[in-house]
Amino acid sequence: MDKNRLTFRETDEAGNPTATFIYSGDGSKGRVDVISSSKPTSWSKPLFSSLSDVFLPSGYPHSVSDDYLPYQVFDSLQAFSSSIAGLLSSRAVLQGTKPNSHRNTQIKTNNPGVGVGNATASPTSALLLHILQDTSGRIATILFAHRVGTALEPECKSYRLAADIFNDIAMILDCLSPGVPGGAMRVAVLSAAGVLRALCGVAGGSSKASLSAHFARWGNLAEVNAKDSSQETVISLFGMLVGSLVISHITSFTTTWAVLLLLLATHLSMNYAAVRAVQMTSLNRQRANIVFSALLASDQVLALRQDQDLKSNRLTPLTPAQVARQERIFPNGTLQWTDWSTGSASVQTLGSAKIGISMALFLDSIKNTSTPLDRLTALFQDEAYMLFLSPLAPKKWHVSILLKKECSVADQLKAWAHGLLAARILRAESESESGSGSDIFDVIEKTLSALNGRFAGYLHALGGAGWDVDIAALETGAGKRVDVDVDVGI
C-alpha cells in the first residue's frame, strides 16, 4: 500500500502551504485524505485574511517590497486628512456668505461665491468660470509635462511630495476666494487653484506610477495599482463621512481656518513620512552621489581616506535602506561628496554636473582651457562617454558629461562616478598645504585609469547590496548622444 501513496502539497502564490492531499490505494480502489494547513486560532484571523485579500496584493508580503506597508500606512493617513480638507475648501468656493468669527449667524458680504448664496450669479457665468479653470489647467498640464517629464521617474519621491504641496496651496486659494473682490481678481485666484491641481495631477500620477513599479516584485504592477485604488476609495469614503460631521459643526471663520491648517499640516507631514519610508533601488543623481562616495572611499587602492585599513580592500557599498535615511526629498546640490569617516554623514558640495549634454555645451565647457578636443577624444576612445571639469567657483567644479551613441546604463554610472571622483581629488588638492592643484586633464586621466578594471567590481558590489544597476535614472532632461568617427591621416 505504501508504494501507491501519492502526496500533493498545495501552496498559495507566496509558497505558503494551504493543504495536503494524500492518495492511497491499489488499482481502482483508493481514497484521498485532505489535511488542511490553515489553523485559525480566532475569528480575527479569517477576517484579517479576507481584508488582506481585498486590499493587499496577492502573495503579500512576498509580492511587494519591504517598504510597501510603511508607505501605504502613511499614504492612507494623508488621504484621510486630505479628504476632510477638500470638503472645507469646496464649501468655501460654493458658499456665497462669509461666516462670522464671533457668532454662529452668517453675514452677507459683497463678495459672493460662484454658486450657492450668490443671487447675482448666473449659470452662464459659473460655466464660463469652469471653462476658464479647465482650460488653464489643461495648458499647464501640457507645459509641465514637457518641462519635467523626464525627471518625474528619477526624482519620483520629490515630485510625489511636490504634488501634494500643489494641492494644499490650491485648497488655501479656494478658501481665500470668498474674501477676494469679485471680478478678474477672483477669477485669477480660482484659475491659479485649478492650475495647481492640474500640476498635482501630473506630478502625483506619474510619481505614483514609478513608486508602484518599485513596490511590485512579481511583475504585478497592475494589481498593485488596482489595490492602491481600492485603499484610496475606502479611505476617501471614510474621510467624507467624518468630514460631513466636521463641516456641519464648524461654521466660524476662525475655527474653519484653524482646522484647515491643522489638516493640511497633517497631510504634508504624512506625505513626507511616506516618501521617506520608500527605499528606492535605482541610482538617481543624489543616490549615486551618496553610494559612490562611500564606495570609492572604501576602496583601499584609491586611498581617499587616511584611516583606511591597508591590509584589506573590502568594498562597503551602502544599502538602499541606509541611503534612504540619508537622502533629501528635495536635494539642494547636484554634485556632492558624503564623508562617512567620522561615523556620521557630512556632505561636501563639489559643484555641479550635467549628464547627456549636447555637443555644443560640451565644446563650450572646454573652449577656455588648454586641453585640445583631439587629446580628450583620444583619452576616451575606448569609453562610451567623455567628460571634462571646468572651474565653477573657488574649490568647486562643473562636470560636463557627453554620452556616446552606444552608452549603456553601466557607462552612465561610470561617467558619474568618474566625475565625482575627479572633482573630489581636485577639491582635496586645492585644500592642501601647497595650494597647487594638478592639471585638470591629468586628474581626469588618472581617475579614468583607476576606475578601469575596477568599476565592474563596483557594479557587482552594488548589485549584491540590493541596487538595480540596470535602470537609467541619472538624466533628468532630454539627453543627447553623439557618434564619434575618427579619421586618421587627414
Inform me whether the pLDDT recorded for 111 exceeds 50: no
Q: Count other C-beta atoms under 10 Å from residue 205's C-beta.
A: 12
What integer is the mean pLDDT of 391-404? Answer: 93
pLDDT tier at 436, thresholds 50, 70, 90: low
**pLDDT tens-digit readout, 298-332:** 888 786 655 555 445 577 899 999 999 999 999 87
Dihedrals phi, psi of 463, to nearest 5 degrees? -60, -40
Q: What is the pLDDT of residue 464?
A: 94
What span, in angstroms and rounded, lies between the C-alpha atoms of 190 and 427? Answer: 50
- DSSP-derived secondary structure letter, 60: T
| Average pLDDT, integer, range 333-360 | 86
Amino acid at 277: A
Distance between CA atoms of 192 and 205, rounded to whole angstroms?
A: 20
Mean pLDDT within 253-258: 89
Nearest alpha carbon to residue 82 among 168, 160, 163, 156: 168
Which of 378, 409, 383 is closest to 479 using CA atoms? 409
State the sign of the Cα–Cα–Cα–Cα dihedral 234, 235, 240, 245: positive
Q: What does the pLDDT read at residue 156?
A: 96
Residue 104: the pLDDT is 42
Please report the pLDDT score of residue 438 as a whole number: 66
Q: Are 200 and 166 in contact (CB under 8 A)?
A: yes
Q: For 15-61, how does the pLDDT look when each residue is reduced to its tens digit (9 = 90+)? A: 677 788 887 877 667 788 788 766 555 545 566 667 778 899 988 88
Go through the domains of the chain in sequence order and give each one's CATH number: 2-55 (no CATH), 68-277 (1.20.1250), 285-464 (no CATH)
- What the block records as the C-alpha cell of 22 is 494524500
| Residue 110: Cβ-neighbour burial (10 angstroms; 0-12, 13-18, 19+) | exposed
pLDDT of residue 99: 43
* Rounded-to-integer distance, Cα 331 and Cα 306, Å: 29
Q: What is the pLDDT of residue 409?
A: 96
Give residue 250's pLDDT: 87
H helix runs in 367-408, sequence order: 373-379
* Residue 438 to residue 407: CA distance in whole angstroms: 29
Collapse the DSSP code of 7 into the 3-class scheme (helix H, G, I; strand E, B; otherwise coil) and give the result. Answer: strand
Q: What is the pLDDT of residue 303?
A: 66
Per the listing, cell 557599498 goes with: 317
CA distances for 473 relative to 29, 69, 201, 284, angstroms: 63, 24, 22, 5
Instruction: Report the C-alpha gap between 459 and 467 in whole angstroms.
Output: 9
Nearest to 396 by CA among 475, 330, 337: 337
CB atoms within 10 A of CB 483: 7
| pLDDT tens readout for residues 154-183 | 999 999 999 999 999 999 998 888 888 877
Q: What is d(CA 169, CA 364) in angstroms, rounded to the nearest whole number?
A: 40
Question: What's the pTM value of the predicted model, to 2 decimals?
Answer: 0.84
Is pLDDT above 90 for 205? yes
User: What burial letters (b/e) apply to 13-25, b meaning 16+ CB within 10 Å?
Assistant: eeeeeeeeeeeee
- Chain centroid to CA 345: 22
Q: For 114-137, write each residue's pLDDT tens digit.
A: 544 455 556 777 788 788 889 999
Q: Is the pLDDT of residue 110 over 70?
A: no
